[in-house]
Amino acid sequence: MTSSDSTNQEETPQPEKHSKQITNDDLYRRSTQFRFWSFTEQRLKELKRSTNEKGSANLKERLSQLDPSIPEVSEIWEKDLVKPLTVEEEVKIVEYYARKAQGLANYFKLPTQSRATAISFFRKFFLVNSCIQFHPQYLMYTCLFLAAKSDNHFIGIKEFSKAIPKTTPESILQYEFQILQSLKFALLCHHPYKPLYGFFLDFQVEMKNEIQSDKLAELYDHARDKVSEALFSDVSFLFTPSQIALAAYYELNPELVTSYLSKKFSQLSTINEDEQLKSSPNIQTKLVDNLKHCIELSHASFDPAIEEVTQISRKVHYCIDPMKLVKKMQKQKSMS
């Protein structure tokens, strides 16, 4: 071999290797929301139970501090009249007021992002704090005010309070620092709406031969409704925003999403050097199974009747301040 042959061989260009693409999910997993508020289903159940147990222990301590010389206090102890909420009762009343928060956000004409952020703040707070210690109704107002402020849609506290009966600026602001602490001062929320729109744009390119533009626009509108309803379930603690968004499309049009995923995985296997992707023919099946599970859990949210919530709310009031029941019992005795 001559030196010129050797030189030509050395200068022969090598195929360029493509680095692994960074996805929206990859970026999300770097966020504080993923770090602080993403769980397995088992861990989420344990956290709810632990929060309820801490609230129950707090109630027991409060009851022990009541004056035993008061006859009604002794009666409360003997008959166990002030009982802590169950985990299920806590979930129901939180879901009820989360839906009320959405209605109040509509009244203030808050954008979709702020509405979702308010619900996120509210649900996160009651994941680590018990309704046995805080009434959701009052925390709902503060979460809504804080969400509007954090999303740069500020409403003056006097204007905000004036629109809500039986509130004052002080009654709303008094919980703000406790909420911030519970959120670990991480106020940026990642919602499924942006990836939902991103998929919509990608569908227009990748699936233009499989769905008409007007049908796709209609699909997007219905998927937004699915995402909005999912805010009241646990899916935001269990799945990434992109997974929740794609699950909304899959529930409405599984054939379209399945075809879309086949195209995307085919493209990735061509340009991506990720050996795991190439050697895992079942990865698409696993993703679809994940989407189906997300859909299932998104339908597991509660929408309790007002009568049931009223009973739970009464229990909350007595848990937070047992002396209210003492005074009620004294009043009833004086009238008999």
- 303-319, pLDDT tens digit by residue? 888 999 999 999 999 99
Same domain, 169 and 100: yes
C-alpha separations of 298 from 145, 189, 253, 291, 295 in Å: 26, 19, 16, 10, 5
pLDDT in tens, 272-328: 555 555 545 588 999 999 999 999 999 988 788 899 999 999 999 999 999 999 999
Average pLDDT score, the chain: 90
Q: Is residue 303 part of a domain?
A: no
Last residue of a domain, one of 159, 188, 217: 188
Write out the residue range of the structural domain in which residue 292 sits.
193-298
Q: Is residue 32 part of a domain?
A: no
Q: What CATH number should be reported for the domain holding residue 260?
A: 1.10.472.10
The yes-or-no verdict on residue 6 having pLDDT over 50 is no
pTM tops 0.85: yes
Q: Is residue 109 part of a domain?
A: yes
CA distance 122 to 100: 11
| Cβ-based burial of 67 (10 A; exposed 0-12, middle 13-18, buried ≥19) | exposed
Query: What is the three-class DSSP state of 178?
Result: helix
CA distance 291 to 210: 21
C-alpha dihedral, 112 to 118 to 124 to 126, nearest 10°:
-140
Cβ partners under 8 Å of residue 220, min gap 6: 196, 197, 200
Same domain, 47 and 116: yes
CA distance 254 to 214: 18
Q: Is residue 205 part of a domain?
A: yes
| Side chain identity, residue 317 | H
Same domain, 223 and 285: yes
Q: Is residue 198 part of a domain?
A: yes
Mean pLDDT along residues 157-173: 96
Last residue of a domain, one of 188, 221, 251: 188
Number of domains forming the structure of the chain: 2
CA distance 214 to 256: 15
Q: Is residue 334 part of a domain?
A: no
